[in-house]
Amino acid sequence: MTAVLTVHDLHVAIGRGGGATNVLRGAGLEVETGEVRGLVGESGAGKSMLGRAVLGLLPANAAITAGQITFKGRDLLAMREPERRGLLGRSIALIPQDPMTSLNPVKRVGAQIAGLLRHHLGLSNRDALERATELLAEVAIREPRRVLGLYPHEISGGMRQRVLIAMAFACDPALVIADEPTTALDVTVQRQVLQLVERLRQSHGAAVLFVTHDLGVVAKICRTMTVLHAGRVLEEGETADVLTRPRHPYTRALLAATPRADRPAEALRPVPPALIESLWAEAHRLDALSMARRA
Amino acid sequence: MTDILLRTGRLGFAYPEHGGLFRASTPREVIKDIDLAVPRGAVLGLVGESGSGKTTLGRLLVRLLTPTSGGIQFDGVEIGAIGEAEMRPLRARIQMIFQDPQSSLNPRLRLAVTLTRPLQVFGRLKGRRDQRDRAAALLDLVGLPTGFVDRYPHELSGGQRQRAGIARALALEPDFIVADEIVSGLDVSTQAHILLLLRELRARLGLTMVFISHDLSVVRVLCDDVAILNHGEVVEYGPVGRIFNSPQHAYTRQLLSAIPLPDVEPGWLDESSPIVTSHSQGSAA
């Protein structure tokens, strides 16, 4: 298998000079062609930051201080800006977390999808709208033609997330980055959305980097997974192996602290605070080391 | 006979829907004919998806909203229709913990003031010294360092803020607490700590609780009984062990099977797969 995406020893810091805070501390992962890799972590782990670094959409105050990102054998960080921009939405697409704020509120759904298709695939307006209808049908939206004429506020949250999924797969990208796409959804809607992502990924032949905090979601949709904490990879491997035989104490602790509907309450074990403290101490020790090396 | 602290009888709530100029106004029913009974010292879970009416029901139980039909009995007293003046003495016994401690704690006040505000409102505070002592005792009760009396909410982590929210709800030593989605925004590593804290407090203080959540897994950790809400109606209601092990209603089964358990399960993503109850093998709680 070949890797679509390789992230190697990535360091990202927020802020400048002495006040800079590291958010990624040498994180690395590979996403192979056609696979779904889960990137799991709690808040502050740096998982969304890693996704944004791949997309070239880091916040203005964040910067990559070291590392490589390779997409289909090409060095993304050495690429000129216009070329990299050209990949966005075309070869590397994003399913964003928040379906409420990720669509333009003053443009009809149809115009937003058609605009993307015209820009990247050079379709005529007519062909683009025709293709947009097919895409909405593909994400199981009934009456797709009518929905094309609606504004985002006129459709439900679940339906908005479907529109965003349709847009992500619209140009047959090689890689889709899904950034907690089901976090805001009810469980029954979440299941439908996960089913949809799986179906479209297969029919469009895309690989997916699935960013989430939910080990249950990872178990259901990801073949491989990477566990991130404080910007470092603590464990990675095939999902079936990691979940049944976790090697890192943090992964084991997270699994034991996840409430399960199929087990009585007595099984729940909170994450020992000492474990989290020691992981952060280790991260800060690494920060001090790299500071000293640079000085 | 069990001692029921809170009971609702055909409880209903409708928002007035304003019609147009030439249209009659038709009330929109969001809570329909709900019968619940919470025994003293028990925890009832209210589960539903967005729009199910679970938050509205919680607000009715603490009388932040007034029912439009049916009644609520608290410790034998009918409180569904009474006015604010009659309600006031009961307010100290009925408390609520809110979902988002970030927005429900005043960012400009130190915890000493915020936590003891309910005591002040009820005239149970005797000066500065007493305020600090009471706040420190409350912090200790929820497992926070007593030195936090001088902290502001932004100096706390998410889990610590939620502990502070719980401490404030306990200030008046209530008998009954409604907790609305209080662990939803928390990371797994923090969430389990808060759930176990609530279990411990319940045992220590003999609290009676209604725990509102969209997450059935969390409900199983804490609750004795669970009521499943759908479109403002209770579709299934019973002991946690029974509901999780042999759900009767199709909607309950659908909710349970939609929960992604952290086990690899090929076929879970098949869109044609029928609703399966993979939750039936767990032992009764």
Report how far residue B65's alpha carbon sits from residue B57's, in angstroms, rounded to the nearest whole number: 9
Sequence-ordered list of residues with C-beta below 8 angstroms from that of B194, at least 6 positions apart, any chain: B159, B162, B163, B166, B182, B183, B186
> Is A223 in the B-facing interface, judged by CB distances under 8 Å?
no
Tens digit of each residue's pLDDT, chain A (295 residues): 589 999 999 999 998 877 889 999 999 999 999 999 999 999 889 999 999 999 999 999 999 999 999 999 999 999 999 999 999 999 999 999 887 788 999 999 999 999 999 999 999 999 999 999 999 999 989 999 999 999 999 998 889 999 999 999 999 999 999 999 988 788 988 999 999 999 999 999 999 999 999 999 999 999 999 999 999 999 999 999 999 999 999 999 999 999 999 988 888 999 999 999 999 999 999 999 887 877 7
**Using a CB-CB distance cutoff of 8 angstroms, which residues of chain B are in contact with residue A239?**
264
**Using a CB-CB distance cutoff of 8 angstroms, which residues of chain B are in contact with residue A270?**
189, 192-193, 196
Instruction: State the DSSP code for B21.
Output: T
Contact B158 A268 (CB under 8 A): no
Q: What is the pLDDT of residue B236?
A: 98
pLDDT at B195 over 90: yes
Which pair of tokens denotes residue B27?
Answer: 């009330």
**Cα-based distances in Å from B57 to B28, B30, B31, B98:** 15, 9, 7, 14
Strands (E), chain A: 3-14, 21-32, 36-40, 62-71, 74-75, 92-95, 175-179, 207-212, 224-229, 232-238
Report how far residue A170's alpha carbon sits from residue A172's, in angstroms, rounded to the nearest whole number: 6
Q: What is the pLDDT of residue B274?
A: 43
Which pair of tokens denotes residue A282?
Answer: 């280790």
Q: What is the pLDDT of residue A36?
A: 97
Helix axes B158-170, B111-121, angle to 10 degrees: 20
Q: What is the pLDDT of residue B27?
A: 81
**Using a CB-CB distance cutoff of 8 angstroms, which residues of chain B are in contact with residue A220?**
260, 264-265, 268-269
Q: Around A188, how many Cα atoms within 13 Å sit in the side-chain half-sphere?
A: 13
Which pair of tokens denotes residue A91?
Answer: 């070869």
Q: Give the closest-approach CA distance of A233 to chain B in angstroms.
A: 17
What is residue A230's three-state secondary structure? coil
DSSP bridge pairs for A22:
A13
Q: What is the pLDDT of residue B272?
A: 66
pTM of the model: 0.90
Q: What is the pLDDT of residue B275?
A: 41
Task: Encode pLDDT of B206-246 as tens digits.
Answer: 999 999 999 999 999 999 999 999 999 999 999 999 999 99
Q: Give the closest-approach CA distance of B137 to chain A in angstroms.
A: 22
pLDDT at B79 over 90: yes
Closest chain B residue to A244, measured at CA:
B263
Task: Give the pLDDT band (50/70/90) at residue B103.
Answer: confident
User: ∠ CA B209-B212-B214 to the nearest 5 degrees?
Assistant: 150
pLDDT at B40 over 60: yes
Comparing CA positions, the residue from B243, B245, B204, B240 lying closest to residue B225 is B240
Interface test with B, best of A161, A187, A223 (most B CBs within 10 A): A187
Q: What is the pLDDT of residue B256?
A: 94
Task: Encode pLDDT of B115-145 as tens digits.
Answer: 999 999 999 999 999 999 999 999 999 999 9
DSSP bridge pairs for B180:
B212
Percent of chain B beyond pLDDT 70?
93
The percent helix, strand, coil of chain B (3-state, each to 5) is 40, 25, 40
The average pLDDT across B4-26 equals: 85
Instruction: State the DSSP code for A88.
Output: B
Q: How many CB pairs under 8 A join A and B?
A: 126
The average pLDDT across B75-92 equals: 94
Interface test with A, best of B220, B246, B275 (most A CBs within 10 A): B220
Report how far residue B255's alpha carbon sits from residue B85's, in angstroms, rounded to the nearest whole number: 41
Q: Give the closest-approach CA distance of B120 to chain A in angstroms.
A: 34
Report how far residue A19's alpha carbon sits from residue B189's, in angstroms, rounded to the nearest whole number: 28
Contact A262 B279 (CB under 8 A): yes
Helix axes B158-170, B188-205, angle to 10 degrees: 20
Comparing CA positions, the residue from B150, B153, B172, B173 lying closest to residue B163 is B153
Task: Give the pLDDT band (50/70/90) at residue B173.
Answer: very high
Q: What is the pLDDT of residue A1?
A: 58
Q: Which range, of A272-281, B23-32, B61-70, B189-198, averages the lowest pLDDT?
A: B23-32
Comparing CA positions, the residue from A63, A62, A24 lying closest to residue A230 is A24
**Using a CB-CB distance cutoff of 8 angstroms, which residues of chain B are in contact with residue A225?**
none
Contact B191 A271 (CB under 8 A): no
Closest chain A residue to B193, measured at CA:
A270
Owner of token pair 């040498």: A26
Which of B158, B269, B285 is nearest residue A265 as measured by Cβ atoms?
B285
